[in-house]
Amino acid sequence: MNVTDTLDTQLDAQAPDIGELVNRLQALFDACGVPPALFQSFAMAFDEVISNIAAYGSAHDPIRIHVTVGADEVRAEVIDDGVAFDPLQLPDPDVTSALDDRAIGGLGVYLVRKMMDEVAYERREQLNCLSFRKRVAAQPDA
């Protein structure tokens, strides 16, 4: 993988088309030779983050998504104008108790944190900016 490429797009904050985003992400990752497992991690992370913004964020303007595929990592940023909320301040959910005994919520953010190498939140100019990245493992030459 030696291509650096980007995806910049926007989704409707009230009814985001996550399927279309995933299709565009797949095309980018395929063109850049990103391993399928990494695509699955990013597709799931976007699904969780964007679904939460649409359900709870009160965003009005479109959700902005920026993805950069580099030689050794993939970086993503999701920006919305919803209420200030740092999902990284949520405590990790209880994943050891029986399902019926667990509190609802928080599992999506937990999964994103576990799947990515780095997840960061910043409030910039009245915008929520959540970024995440994952290193790309070196692939043996075919």
Dihedral sign of CA atoms 38, 5, 73, 85 in order = negative
Which residues, listed in sequence order, are joined to residue 66 by a DSSP beta bridge?
Answer: 8, 77
- Sign of the Cα torsion 7, 8, 13, 16 reads negative
pLDDT in tens, 69-91: 998 999 999 999 999 999 888 77
pLDDT given at position 34: 92
pLDDT (0 to 100) of residue 89: 87
CB 85 within 8 A of CB 128: yes
* 45-74 confidence digits (pLDDT tens): 999 999 989 988 899 999 999 999 998 999
For 77-132, the pLDDT digits (tens) are: 999 999 999 988 877 666 666 656 545 556 678 889 999 999 999 999 999 999 99
**pTM for this model (two decimals):** 0.86
> Per-residue confidence at 40, pLDDT binned at 50, 70, 90?
very high
Q: Which domains does the chain have, with CATH numbers?
A: 5-135 (3.30.565.10)
d(CA 59, CA 65): 14
Give pLDDT, residue 109.
83
What's the average model confidence in pLDDT over 25-33?
Answer: 95
Task: Spell out the residues 6+ positions from residue 141 whose beta carbon is closer than 8 angstroms to its own.
Answer: none
